[in-house]
Chain A
Amino acid sequence: MRNKKNNKVLLEMKDIKIEGFADEKWHKIIKGISLTLSRGQVMGLIGESGAGKSTLGLAAMGFTRPGCKFTGGKVVFDGKNLTDMPENQRREYWGTRITYIAQSAAAAFNPAHQLIHQVIESTVRSKQKNKRDAQNDAVSLFESLQLPNSSEIGNRFPHQVSGGQLQRVMTAMAMSPRPDLIVFDEPTTALDVTTQVEVLAAMREVVKTFNTAAIYITHDLSVVAQMADTIKVLRFGEEIEEAETRKMLKSPKQEYTKTLWSVRSIQKPEIKSKNIILEMSGIDAFYGNFHVLKNVNIKLSYGRTLAIVGESGSGKSTMARVITGLLAPRNGSVKFKDKVLPAKLKNRTKDQLQKIQMIYQMADVAMNPKQTVFDIIGRPASFFTGITGKKLENRVIELLNQIDLDESFIDRYPSELSGGQKQRVCIARALAAKPEVIICDEVTSALDQIVQEGILKLLLRLQNDLNLSYIFITHDIATVKAISDEVVVMNEGEVVEQGLKSKIFSPPHPDYTKLLLSSVPEMDPDWLTNLLKKRA
């Protein structure tokens, strides 16, 4: 088993302190964390964004990103103090004895070189193997990572390989010099759930085979539960607690850890409804010659939430673009309250535009950074409802209160808001038009779990108060379970199934829904093992 006791200490980080330079001053990022890792041990680092997970993971290599520096503590790797030595000596450990796996494989591979040359680069440079042997070894690593065409895939360029495959090639790259330690930095966060399962299984297998120690960084507890022997919880650059995986899952000690555990707790009961407010029928949409939506029919009921769930490229966001008129479909129509909406945005009346509003995934880029909250919310309010002056100001304050922000926010710029507050302002902007339908496109995907929960609760309350209908686009099954009444499952531009939440989440399932649902990681540390057994 992986957790065999091999007590020889490989890595010891003592009271690490790191500061980063931003806004003209130094900020503490890591405030004194210690970490001990034995050979062959896998430790999970978990926490929300800003907890310092990645910084700590990189610090294990004696590396800090540009603009950051060690201000205290030391990193001892295999008896050598990495923080003391000059960079050219430290570099001899990098890529050979300690390797790194980044979050986005697509960005971490150099677009100009074939994969194989990048995979064996440090192995050949450090003269562990000659070029031929290293290439042969890489091919056998590709094979054990279950990459298709293992003998040929190395000759491709990064853009010619899918995201899940690239992530496995990167694992092979990290494994090629047979390191003692691998730092995994959110390696599956950018992947779809069905792909994530394969990548997790492959990574776990190689780490086990070569008895490599690893630091596994993620914000997803159910993922780290599959990978790690021990879990360390971080928050604001400090350690909250550390324990063996099963112990941590069963009985977390600290209050903060418990909140991480209990986030997926919203369970809105579904409500059946017959009155249809919005309907898409027979929609075929294209990007150039690419058929994105294939004969899509969906219905949204008054005052209800329709969740559209699917993986990247399934056509979810394109549906939002068709409904709002940003993309005219080739066939089919969109009906709002039994009246057909013009296909193109410019042919729609102001009234039609007002009734359907949108909220986006990236609140950051969905707001003009040079406008204050008042301008951002006030503009649609005066454009659609014609109010000005004092009335407008009162309306903006009313909207701010609806999203649980007080009126002191009115003069702030987007850069002065937190991620959750930004998304709240975007919600208020949508509400300002007094819409009846709001399309939420992955509105919680970029947010931390606890912030997500707040946004979802807010959306549910607003739905109750204002009788709104939501189309909720997401790839996250937990979110779907939390807030939807009805669900549409999309795959490759087609509707796989649709119906009430209870129907979609209970068997029998069509094949794709089954695959999708079974791929969502669970808190159980044996989940992956059992799933792989079942699928085999």
Chain B
Amino acid sequence: MHPVFLTILKRLGLGVLTLLVVSMVIFSAVEMLPGDFTEAVLGQRATVETVAAFRKELGLDQPAILRYLDWLGSVCTGDLGTSFSGRDASGIDRSRPVTELIAPRLTNTLFLATFTAIIAVPLSLILGLLTALYRNTIFDRSTNITTLTAISFPEFFVAYTLILFLASLFQIFPSLSNVDENTLFFERVYMTALPAITLTLVTVAHMLRMTRAAIINLLASSYIEMATLKGTTKLNIILRHALPNAWAPIATVVAFNLAYMVVGVVVVEVVFVYPGIGQLMVDAVTSRDIPVVQGCALIFACTYIFLNLTADIIGIVTNPRLLHPR
């Protein structure tokens, strides 16, 4: 078997292990949250007996370790448990499975992230290459200043500025992105344009500058001088000789920003009233809906680990020393 497969398998194994550790951290962190769901829900009626009965019904009377194993077991079968909310002391149970709550929200978040990525990643790679090619020119400096300015403002400020100009003064896009499952694809693209542009503005600088730095770093290499002395044009030097050796750092920073687009967008969701997973988690924390919090946290962890793993694997397969051992 090719040794690279073995390396990748090892990475995958490590990824699963990391996920397991993260699940423990999530569980114990939630465990340490102050306050108690039952007391919060029962409010005035929280006598010792009602609380105990309610806790028993929710399984909260079991020892933590048992609840963890129980939770882990059902997570492995794709069952994230049942939301606490929708129940109360009256005994009427309107609660829904966590997966059912999360699924539509996650779809929305992934849609926005994909949409943003389709704009932001090619844009920052191309700008990164161009600024490396024409470094220290006016083009390079103005690109850098613009993107750095964009990343320096808080997200909500960028979002409201966009609303002011693109939704209010010039009514090009809607200022609200409250899509639902009946929204058609093109409608959806139109409605999420502003949040996607906001996210693009706050992520491009990071990816662009990393691409630029990775390429410029390589331009000092001997083999680049050799390529120059072989009469290769500047553009070909960047594309053929520098870029193939720069994928690893670029993949890492792209993965980092993609992860951010999935897990770090709650502010943007709030501003544009976009029903994403970030808002769901914040609401769940407020109401101490532990199964939903855990479910969201686990999905965020998966996203991070999966994207970083992908970046790692790209780093491995673009390294000829690993791909073609002696």
Q: Does B226 contact A (CB under 8 A)?
A: yes
Q: For B318, list chain A residues within 8 Å (CB).
A: 112
Specify the main secondary structure of chain B where it touches its partner: helix
User: For the complex, what is the distance from the CA of A516 to the CA of B129, rounded to whole Å?
Assistant: 49
Minimum distance in angstroms from B77 CB to a CB of chain A: 43
Q: Which residue of A lies closest to B220 (CB)?
A: A66
Besides A100-B229, A112-B241, 5 other A-B contacts (C-beta < 8 A): A93-B231, A108-B225, A112-B320, A126-B231, A159-B326
- A residues 52-107 with Cβ under 8 Å of B? 58, 61, 63, 65, 88, 91-96, 99-100, 102, 104, 107
Q: For A65, list chain B residues within 8 Å (CB).
A: 225
Q: Which of A95, A104, A111, A113 contacts B230 (CB 8 A)?
A: A95
B230 contacts A160, C-beta separation under 8 Å: no
Interface string of B222-248 (1 = CB under 8 A from A): 110111111111000000110011000
User: For the complex, what is the distance from the CA of A61 to the CA of B232, rounded to whole Å?
Assistant: 14
On whether A95 and B222 interact (CB within 8 A), knowing A111-B321, A113-B244, A157-B320, the answer reads no
Q: For B223, list chain A residues within 8 Å (CB).
A: 107-111
Leading 9 A-B pairs by shortest Cβ distance: A95-B230, A95-B231, A107-B222, A94-B231, A112-B244, A100-B229, A110-B223, A108-B226, A122-B230
Q: Which residue of A lies closest to B325 (CB)?
A: A160
Specify the main secondary structure of chain A where it touches its partner: loop
Q: Does B94 contact A (CB under 8 A)?
A: no
Minimum distance in angstroms from A242 CB to a CB of chain B: 25
Q: For B221, list chain A residues within 8 Å (CB).
A: 107
User: For the complex, what is the distance from the CA of A63 to the CA of B226, rounded to whole Å?
Assistant: 12
Minimum distance in angstroms from B270 CB to a CB of chain A: 45
Q: Does B324 contact A (CB under 8 A)?
A: yes
Binding site for A on B (CB under 8 A): 221-223, 225-233, 240-241, 244-245, 318, 320-321, 324, 326
Q: For A121, list chain B residues within 8 Å (CB).
A: 230, 232
Binding site for B on A (CB under 8 A): 58, 61, 63, 65, 88, 91-96, 99-100, 102, 104, 107-113, 121-122, 125-126, 156-157, 159-160, 173
B245 contacts A96, C-beta separation under 8 Å: no
A159 contacts B229, C-beta separation under 8 Å: no
A112 contacts B245, C-beta separation under 8 Å: yes
A159 contacts B320, C-beta separation under 8 Å: yes
User: For the complex, what is the distance from the CA of A122 to the CA of B244, rounded to whole Å?
Assistant: 19
Q: For B228, list chain A residues within 8 Å (CB).
A: 63, 94
Minimum distance in angstroms from B159 CB to a CB of chain A: 41
User: For the complex, what is the distance from the CA of A122 to the CA of B326, rounded to whole Å?
Assistant: 27
Q: Which of B226, B230, B231, B321 contacts A159 (CB 8 A)?
A: B321
A110 contacts B241, C-beta separation under 8 Å: yes
On whether A111 and B231 interact (CB within 8 A), knowing A102-B226, A104-B222, the answer reads no
User: For the complex, what is the distance from the CA of A65 to the CA of B224, rounded to whole Å?
Assistant: 12
Q: For A63, list chain B residues within 8 Å (CB).
A: 228-229
Q: For A157, list chain B residues within 8 Å (CB).
A: 320-321, 324
A110 contacts B227, C-beta separation under 8 Å: yes
User: For the complex, what is the distance from the CA of A165 to the CA of B297, rounded to whole Å?
Assistant: 55
Q: For B231, list chain A residues within 8 Å (CB).
A: 91-96, 122, 125-126
A95 contacts B232, C-beta separation under 8 Å: yes
Minimum distance in angstroms from A88 CB to a CB of chain B: 8
User: For the complex, what is the distance from the CA of A108 to the CA of B241, rounded to whole Å?
Assistant: 11
Minimum distance in angstroms from A11 CB to a CB of chain B: 16
User: For the complex, what is the distance from the CA of A520 to the CA of B186, rounded to whole Å?
Assistant: 76
Minimum distance in angstroms from B203 CB to a CB of chain A: 27
Minimum distance in angstroms from A86 CB to a CB of chain B: 13
Q: For B320, list chain A residues within 8 Å (CB).
A: 111-112, 157, 159
Minimum distance in angstroms from A96 CB to a CB of chain B: 6
A110 contacts B245, C-beta separation under 8 Å: yes
B228, B230, B245, B318: most-surrounded residue (chain A CB, <10 A): B230
Minimum distance in angstroms from B108 CB to a CB of chain A: 40
User: For the complex, what is the distance from the CA of A92 to the CA of B226, rounded to whole Å?
Assistant: 15
Q: For A110, list chain B residues within 8 Å (CB).
A: 223, 226-227, 241, 244-245
Minimum distance in angstroms from A324 CB to a CB of chain B: 31
Q: Which residue of A lies closest to B326 (CB)?
A: A160
User: For the complex, what is the distance from the CA of A63 to the CA of B231, rounded to whole Å?
Assistant: 11
User: For the complex, what is the distance from the CA of A65 to the CA of B229, rounded to whole Å?
Assistant: 11
Q: For A111, list chain B residues within 8 Å (CB).
A: 223, 245, 320-321
User: For the complex, what is the distance from the CA of A159 to the CA of B245, rounded to whole Å?
Assistant: 14
Q: Which residue of B lies closest to A126 (CB)?
A: B231
Q: Which of B222, B230, B324, B326 contacts A94 (CB 8 A)?
A: B230
Q: For A156, list chain B residues within 8 Å (CB).
A: 324
On whether A91 and B233 interact (CB within 8 A), knowing A110-B227, A111-B321, A159-B320, the answer reads yes
A92, A96, A112: most-surrounded residue (chain B CB, <10 A): A112
